[in-house]
Amino acid sequence: MSDAKIEIRGLSKSYSTGHGSLLAIDTVDLTLAEGEFVSIVGPSGCGKSTLLYVVGGFLSADGDVLVDGTPIRGPGTDRGIVFQDYALFPWLTVRRNILFGLERRDVPQAERDAVADRLIGVIGLKGFEHRYPRELSGGMRQRVAIARTMACDPAVLLLDEPFGALDAQTREMMQDELLRIWLDTRKTVLMITHDVSEAVYLSNRICIMSARPGRIVEEFSVDLDRTLPREELVVSEPFNRLRNAVWLSVRRQAVAAAHADPG
């Protein structure tokens, strides 16, 4: 029996367009072990987000995607997804947004309250429980989105450019928060990002996707000392050596995409 958490086998996805069929991803094979943090990086339009949405159960595709050995048939509470644009309910407070999924599952109120209290503390928003999304900064809203996903305790976290809309300083703070949460929970994480430094800072493994149709063309293992503070880690020689290698790989794919036949 496989001990993989996620197995992606021969996955391909095409879209129908006014000019015929468009192959977005082509025969992707990828396995994530329990507790692994894998990032996918590649040029725009290479099919990264398409792959994530197939794993999330939002899109159908040719091939197989299995979680704990079971084929996925649609979205499920075992997979929590965080989008770039927060996707919070504007009419609900911070606390009610976090509790939304638990309320739909009829979790007892005492248990719901305990989960909300813990997560509000984890994301550093104590005192903001009764604020609405419009009253929060972008970084605060994304923290709420992550907490809402974590509240249902999914085995897998799917992250689609979760910090792409944030300014540089807030993005780094949110990366630190995500790394801390992952080190604490060791959930299995699949993240899509354009940011090479972000991928190196957060991941166990980085997969490079080719220009469309997207294929996994190169992988990098990440073995960094996560006990170091960011200020030491990101200026270290191992971090920058790996970052440069990943950047060059992504650059090659981006150049290939720029020179590809648009038809």
pLDDT tens for 30-49 read: 999 999 999 999 888 888 89
Q: Both ends of the chain: CA-CA distance in Å?
A: 43
Distance CA(122)–CA(120), nearest Å, equals 5
What's the chain's average pLDDT? 89
Structure tokens at 119: 């997560």
Which whole number is the average pLDDT over 83-88? 78
Instruction: Give yes or no for residue 86 having a pLDDT over 80.
Output: no
Record the pTM.
0.87
For residue 191, what are the CA distances in angstroms to 56, 102, 105?
12, 24, 26
Percent above pLDDT 90 for the chain: 52
Distance CA(66)–CA(8), nearest Å, equals 7
The identity of residue 187, as a single letter, is K
Strand ranges, E, within the chain = 4-17, 20-33, 37-41, 62-67, 70-71, 79-82, 156-160, 188-192, 205-209, 216-221
Domains of the chain: 1-78+156-263 (3.40.50.300), 85-153 (no CATH)
